[in-house]
Amino acid sequence: MKKILELEEEFLKKLDKLLNNVERCRTMDNKELVKYLVNNAIEREYYNSLDNFIGVLNKNPKLAKEYKEYGNIREDILKKLYEVLPEEFHEMLDKLENTDNIIAGIEGKAMFKEGLILGVTELNYLSKVGIEIAFI
């Protein structure tokens, strides 16, 4: 029963968010609405690409290797810091790691959007000459 109530609450929150978005869209002019819809589509695709990050790495073994190497270095550094620093600093290390992850996420989101805009606008001439771009 508890799980059902949690699912119902989650559904109601999503429904409320959707209704707020619909209401907000009604007050927008056409230009604002198109901008809003495009930005939401970009954000949705960004999160879809995050969900498939392992698939992206699997397509590029060199990048996957580099990602794993730096991940291991990061883990080694954190492990050593936890060992040498007094326990009262461990919470700060956790906050630093969380903050770095959030910053990296914001940077990735911004670069994803800029890359998409570049691909749609400034590289549109490539389709005119019949060149396809593939990230290998």
> Does residue 106 lie within any of the structural domains?
no
Range of the domain at 11: 1-51
> Does residue 20 lie within any of the structural domains?
yes
Residue 101's nearest CA partner among 77, 74, 66, 83 is: 74
> Does residue 41 lie within any of the structural domains?
yes
Q: What was the pLDDT predicted at 128?
A: 62
Domains held by the chain: number: 1
> Does residue 102 lie within any of the structural domains?
no
Residues 6+ apart with CB under 8 A from 69: none
Whole-angstrom distance, CA of residue 103 vs CA of residue 81: 21
Q: What is the pTM of this model?
A: 0.60
In the predicted model, is pLDDT for residue 18 greater than 80? no
> Does residue 96 lie within any of the structural domains?
no
Residue 53's nearest CA partner among 38, 71, 39, 40 is: 71
Average pLDDT on 100-111 reads 92
> Does residue 93 lie within any of the structural domains?
no
Whole-angstrom distance, CA of residue 89 vs CA of residue 126: 53
In the predicted model, is pLDDT for residue 47 greater than 90? no
Q: What was the pLDDT predicted at 130?
A: 58
